[in-house]
């Protein structure tokens, strides 16, 4: 009986530690992200919900690099997957979109938009992050003139270490009751 209870407890704890976060929820809730703008940054904005994150770049009189960033510190080793849609009212060469990543050795920008592509672009990406890394998205306005770029991130999910999906609480409760019932039936068989 004690072994069965220990097995149930191990299952419940390990299930809670590994799984999939869908959307900007849980530890990736939009309230846990930090927004940073280069100052000044005319028109820069971020718009966030549980399903989408949008970054708007600069469009003003400044003729120099400006950044719209949204970042988060990673709490658990994970695989991050997302889709994105990018649009610029300038030319893609002047308005870049990509991810920023800092594993403690400095900020690395990886461009996702294509400089030679159309003004509307889409794509998806999946990559690994480690506990303590800083990860995020950036719209980089190279000239900050002639129209802003906008990037929307959607279908965001995080597969935490251990894989699998986190079972729903109702499923876990049902499993627990079934295992306890099996243990009680086994005990009756042994006693009787």
Domains in the chain: boundaries: 2-7+20-185
Q: Which residue has the higher pLDDT, 153 or 19?
A: 153
Let me know: does 100 contact 138? Beta carbons within 8 Å. Answer: yes
Asked if 179 and 49 touch (Cβ cutoff 8 Å), the reply is no
pLDDT in tens, 125-138: 999 999 999 999 99
Distance of CA 63 to the CA centre of its chain: 32
Is the pLDDT at 87 greater than 70? The verdict is: yes
Q: What is the CA radius of gyration of the chain?
A: 23
Contacts of 147 (CB under 8 A, 6+ apart): 59, 88, 89, 90, 95
Q: Which value, to the nearest 10 degrees, does the dihedral of the CA atoms of residues 93, 97, 102, 106 take?
A: 20
In this prediction, residue 125 carries a pLDDT of 96
What is the tens place of the pLDDT at every residue in 101-116?
998 888 899 999 999 9
Cβ 112 vs Cβ 98: under 8 Å: yes
Identify the residue with better confidence: 117 or 173. Answer: 117
Collapse the DSSP code of 26 into the 3-class scheme (helix H, G, I; strand E, B; otherwise coil) and give the result: helix
Between 90 and 128, whose confidence is greater? 128
Statement: 2-7+20-185 belongs to CATH 3.40.30: no
Mean pLDDT along residues 22-35: 94
């Amino acid at each position: 009986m004690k072994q069965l209870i220990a097995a149930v407890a191990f299952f419940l704890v390990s299930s809670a530690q590994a799984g999939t976060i869908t959307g900007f929820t849980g530890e990736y809730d939009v309230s846990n992200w930090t927004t940073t703008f280069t100052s000044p940054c005319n028109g820069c904005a971020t718009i966030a919900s549980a399903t989408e994150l949008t970054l708007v770049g600069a469009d003003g009189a400044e003729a120099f690099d400006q950044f719209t960033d949204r970042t988060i510190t990673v709490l658990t080793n994970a695989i991050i997957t997302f889709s994105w849609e990018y649009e610029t009212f300038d030319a893609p060469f002047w308005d870049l979109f990509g991810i920023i990543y800092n594993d403690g050795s400095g900020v690395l920008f990886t461009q996702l938009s294509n400089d030679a592509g159309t003004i509307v672009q889409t794509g998806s990406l999946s990559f690994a992050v480690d506990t303590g890394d800083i990860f995020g998205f950036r719209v980089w306005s190279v000239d900050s003139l002639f129209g802003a770029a906008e990037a929307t991130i959607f279908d965001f999910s995080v597969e935490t270490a251990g894989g699998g999906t986190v079972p729903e609480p109702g499923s876990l409760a049902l499993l627990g009751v079934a295992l306890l019932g099996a243990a009680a039936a086994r005990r009756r068989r042994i006693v009787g």
